[in-house]
Each structure stands twice: as C-alpha cells, then as structure tokens.
Amino acid sequence: MKISVVGTGYVGLVSGTCFSETGVDVVCVDVNEEKINLLNSGEIPIYEPGLKDIFTRNVEKNRLSFTTSLKDSLIDTEVIFIAVGTPPDEDGSADLKYVLGVAREIGRNMNKYLVVVTKSTVPVGTSKKVKAAIAEELKTRNVSIPFDVASNPEFLKEGSAVDDFLKPDRIVVGVETAKAEKTLRRLYKPFLMNGHPILFMNILSSEMTKYAANSMLATKISFMNDIANLCELVGADVDMVRKGIGSDARIGNKFIYPGTGYGGSCFPKDVQALVRTADEYGHSLDILKAVESVNYRQKEILIKKIKKHFGENLKGLRFAMWGLAFKPKTDDMREAPSLVIIENLLKEGASVVAYDPVAQEEAHRILGDNISYAKDEYDACLDADALIIVTEWSEFRSPNFRVIEKLMKSNTIFDGRNIYDPEEMRELKFNYYSIGRAAVLI
C-alpha cells in the first residue's frame, strides 16, 4: 500500500513515520520548504522521543519520503491523510483554511479513486466541507473520479507520540462506505496487536469524539485545579484528596493532578472550538465555559503567590524558571503557562532566567532576549530571589538543594507542579509554595 500524509507537524510526521514502520510506503507533504529540506537531509524539525530512530530506519529503507508537491505524492496513493493545523480563529472557532485548502488541492490533482482522511482535529461537519471542496474542483475540471472521505482523529500525546501511535488505546474512524472501512481497516491492522479496538462509526460521531475526549480531559484538569485552590483555603491537602478520590475506580487516578493550568496546541483551542460549535447550534456548553475561565485564572496562580510573598512590587527581582514547554518531553510552547507567568513578571519589572532541557530554542523564537537562558538548572538559580517550577521535567525532581541554596539570594520556591514534599522542604529550610497544599514558611 502507498499513502500520503499532508502536514509534517507533530501529528503528520509521527503518523507518517509510524505507518512506514509497518511496511507501507509513505510520502509526507508540507508547504514549508525549509521543513521538507530538513527532513530530506535526515533531520527532524521537532523534539519527540523515539521518533529519530524509526524515521532514519524507514528513510533508509526508502519507505518514507518527503516532498512539497502534493500532486507528486498522489502517484499510486490509495489513502491521503490531511494532518495540517487547525488553529483558533479570532472567535475561538477552528480555522479550516488549511484543511479545506488541502482538500481543494487534492480535487485539482487526483486522477483515480482515493480515500481522503481528515486526521486534523476539526469541528463536526467538516468532512462534508472537505467532500464538497473536492467535488467542486473535480466539477471545475469536468471529470468524474470516485472518492471517499473519512474522519480519523488523532489521540497521540506530544512527548509520547510514537508510543501512543504504535500502541493506541483505540483508533476511531468515521466512514460513509464499506470500501473506505475496508481500506482503513487494512492500513491499521498492524496497530491492533495489543488487543485495543478500532472503532468504526459515522463521520459526525467520529469528529465529535475527538472534541469530547479533549474537553473531558481539560475538564478533569480545571476541576482539580479549582478543588486544589479550595483545599488551600480550608486547610486540606490536595495530594491526599487526589489519592482519596483517585482510588475510586469510577473516578480513576489519571489526569487529576493540579498545576498551573493546561496549555499546548490542543486543549485550549479544542475546548474553545467546541463551545463555539455548541453556540452555533443554540446550545450553551456551560461546563466548558467554566473549564476555560478556571484555566485562565489558574495560569496566574503562581503570580498571585509570588505577590503574596514579595508584595505587589516585583521591580528588580530576579526569578529562576525551571521549565518552559507546556509539559515535559516536548519542545512545544504553544499556550504554555510559562508564557503567561513570564509576561506578568516582565510587566512588573522583574527579570527571568529560564532553563528547559529542550524548549529553549523555541522559547527564544517566541520571547527573544526578553528573558535570559541558562545552561542548566543550577545556572538559572544564580542570584535568583526565587525559583519557579513550571514544567515537571523528571530531572527537576531530585536536585541538590544545598547547591541551589548557595546559588540563590533567598531560599524560596514556587512549585507549580507539586514535585517536592512540603515536609522535606521545611527540613531543608526553604520557603515553599505549591498548589493546593499549605505554604511552608521558614
């Protein structure tokens, strides 16, 4: 089988590479020439654990190639995946210009039957628009070529994308015809070895499943953040509460960790887009509106704690920041809580010296020289008035506190990820603020 994958971002590149690992011939397409040149020179433009190895292996076996020409990629292709970005429009709804642009290009260039699969996260009803865009181009060409559309939302997580793709919890596919179902079942068969299901459904349900899944996960995070904030007020410890509720099988212990709010390229935009979809249908998704506003507030929670400790005036203070990416094991900074914290600190006249194991280059692209970048976590602490922990990289979990203490001006830590034990911090003689637990003051 030969397939095309359009868009070589986190989703497209990982999907294309993992499909090639099963023996399928994959051509990845992107409009970004720089990216394609980089990929053709054997480099990958994103940080994703485990990707480089299978990328190199499959390129060497000539099963994985890269081009800027969608037209060329269509030669002998049976299935084409659309995996381009769907960023939020000004009103929060998903901007479909890239998805529909690709659909039109497919219509302009296809010469035989194709299954056109939307893998990008798109609002309910988008596949109909993809189908109409292709049909319109075929009509303009005055040709009649059969094709099927399908929806196949992606559930991989940045940081464990390769593993998630190779061993998915489930694969969701929306189809309209038995022919498309048969083709996609054949393509995905090698990924079903761990016994997890491929769920075929109608296209509208498949499109909805992706938004419902991300919105449920975002809801868990905002719920737990709100409970954490209340825990602090009433004197409860959110760690205990988390374990207490998580051991109930109906609740489960995953995704109930409090923090500095959710970020990344998916949850914020997908929650917003689902709220807009509901509005269009005259239905107010009040739960998700609350999820969004709690998250917005939570991104400033550490600033509140910092001001409580230092007073309203932060001018001249120097903050060390550990972690810039929106979560560990990725260089993705989209909607990262670190950006909100940095913006607030700079606005107040403070300075920031940050360290992130992989996101510094991306951070520099966004923030330029507005902050300083340290060579390691200890370097960031030099002369700092406080340390702020924003991303829970595992290398931050057991640092040498005696070294930190010597480097910093004062022993003060604001931990947005609850990675240390407050009692240990008391023994180590650090002022220690975390989320949903009593502050330690020495």
- CB of 267 vs ligand NAD, minimal distance in Å: 10
272 or 434, CB closer to ligand NAD? Answer: 272
Give the start-end residues of each E strand in 152-223.
171-175, 198-201
Stretch that binds ligand NAD, among 96-104, 188-196, 359-367, 397-405 (CB under 6 A): 96-104
- Is 244 marked as binding a ligand? no
- Select from 29-37, 317-325, 395-403, 421-429 the region that touches ligand NAD (CB under 6 A): 29-37
173 and 206 Cβ atoms separated by less than 8 Å: yes
Which residue do the tokens 């807009």 mark? 276
Site for ligand NAD in 218-277 (CB under 6 A): 265-266
What is the distance between the alpha carbons of residues 354 and 388, in angstroms, rounded to a whole number?
Answer: 9
Pick between residue 268 and residue 436 the one whose CB is nearest to ligand NAD.
268
Annotation-wise, does 371 bind a ligand? no
Q: Is 120 in the site for ligand NAD (CB under 6 A)?
A: yes
Cα(99)–Cα(160) distance, rounded to whole angstroms? 25
The CA distance from 208 to 219, in Å, is 16
Quickly count: other Cβ atoms within 10 Å of residue 300's Cβ. 18
- To the nearest 10 degrees (0 to 180), the angle between helices 267-280 and 203-234 is 120
Query: Does 110 help bind ligand NAD (rule: CB under 6 A)?
Result: no
What is the side-by-side order of every strand in the sheet holding 198-201? 64-67, 25-29, 2-6, 79-82, 114-118, 147-151, 171-175, 198-201
Residue nearest to ligand NAD (CB): 9
Among 5, 26, 74, 84, binds ligand NAD (CB under 6 A): 84
| Residue 35 in contact with ligand NAD, rule: CB under 6 A | yes
Q: Which of 50, 88, 92, 101 binds ligand NAD (CB under 6 A)?
A: 101
Q: Is 285 in the site for ligand NAD (CB under 6 A)?
A: no
131-139 contacts at long range (C-beta below 8 A, 24 or more positions apart): 133/100, 133/103, 133/104, 133/107, 134/103, 134/104, 134/106, 134/107, 134/110, 135/107, 136/104, 136/107, 137/104, 137/106, 137/107, 137/108, 138/107, 138/110
In the complex with ligand NAD, the residue whose CB is nearer, 88 or 399, is 88
Residues 6+ apart with CB under 8 A from 58: 17, 20, 21, 26, 64
Q: Is 3 in the site for ligand NAD (CB under 6 A)?
A: no
Residues 136-155 as x/- pattern, contact with ligand NAD by CB under 6 A:
------------------x-
Least CB distance to ligand NAD at residue 323 (A): 18
Q: Which residues bind ligand NAD (CB under 6 A)?
A: 6-12, 29-32, 35, 83-86, 98, 101-102, 120-121, 154, 156, 158, 265-266
Residues tagged active-site: 266
Annotated binding site for NAD(+): 30, 35, 86, 121, 158, 269, 334
Annotated binding site for substrate: 155-158, 210, 255-259, 263, 327
